[in-house]
Amino acid sequence: MDNVKAIVLRAAGINCDLETEQALRLAGAEAERIHINRLMAEPALLDGVQILVFPGGFSYGDDVAAGKILANQVVHHLRDILHRFVEQGKLVLGICNGFQVLIKTGLVPGLRSDAAALATDYPATLTDNDCGRFEDRWIYLQPGTERCVFLEPNRRIFLPIAHGEGKIVARDPLTLARLRDEGYVAFRYVDADGCRGAFPVNPNGSDDDIAALTDPTGRVLGMMPHPERFVRLTQHPHWTRLKEREGFGDGMTIFNNAVKYVREHF
């Protein structure tokens, strides 16, 4: 497929939609920002699209809970359509607040894959950071699975985070073991040498240092770090000290791999 098409879903409070749209375009996709109200009125907009992204921000001000209102809109108006979207082999990415939305819709980790499970089965959730404050810093991520099409299994990447409710908590020890052993953990927080550790290596206290989760298909990814905020080397916090100061940042791997997958499978 030559023309890869993507929708970046926006709503009140979302503030990373433009950056996400630009990252997708840099990766070679035809990206368009669409408001949730328009998509609910015209769900057929998804028919010609292969990638759907829930970007970061504070949808509806996180007024009830982070991502909860947008998740409710998705569940009550787009549940079956979104389930079919994934069944068709298409890709869904949720970043930060978008990850919170995917968690609250049940799309990730998606231990049950039927449409009725959306928003009814919560094997994991996202809650307040252990430090009790909003964390805005750069972190390293180590891939935790070979299943997810968005990542490169052997490539450690460096990305920024910006969240107050980023702690991933599994429902119980058995669920956590299943997430770990069955390849649902897409990324873990590590240090520059790939070693896991306490704060600030793990910036929020997530169980098993989890930073991102995928679903059984590997085509749905929810992640707390922001890949759209590091698509060019000049966005690196120490870019003036880099040997190479031009080129693409680590965040582009997420978007490049998504576009590559679509071109190879559609």
5-265 is a CATH 3.40.50.880 domain: yes
- Per-residue pLDDT tens for 147-171? 999 999 999 999 999 999 999 999 9
The whole-number pLDDT of residue 107 equals: 92
135-143 and 51-54 strand pairing: unpaired
Which residues are within 8 A (CB) of 6 and not within 5 positions of it... i.e. 6 or more apart? 24, 29, 30, 31, 32, 49, 50, 51, 52, 53
CB crowding 120-146: b at 16 or more within 10 Å, else e: eeebbebbbbbeeeebeebbbbbbbbe
pLDDT at 233 over 90: yes
What whole-number percentage of the chain has pLDDT above 70? 96
pLDDT of residue 262 exceeding 70, the answer is yes
Query: Is residue 136 scored above 60 in pLDDT?
Result: yes
| Residue 110, pLDDT score | 87
Residue pLDDT, tens place only, 170-205:
999 999 999 999 999 999 999 999 999 999 999 999
For the CA atoms of 253, 264, 86, 5, the dihedral, rounded to the nearest 10 degrees, stands at 70
Q: What is the pLDDT of residues 31-47, one digit of tens each?
A: 999 999 999 999 999 99
- Measured CA to CA, the distance from residue 218 to residue 63 in angstroms comes to 31
Backbone angles phi, psi at 45, to 5 degrees: -60, -25
- Positions annotated as catalytic residues are 96, 226, 228
Q: Where are the domains of the chain?
A: 5-265
* CA–CA gap between residue 107 and residue 222 (Å, rounded): 9
% residues pLDDT > 90 (the chain): 87
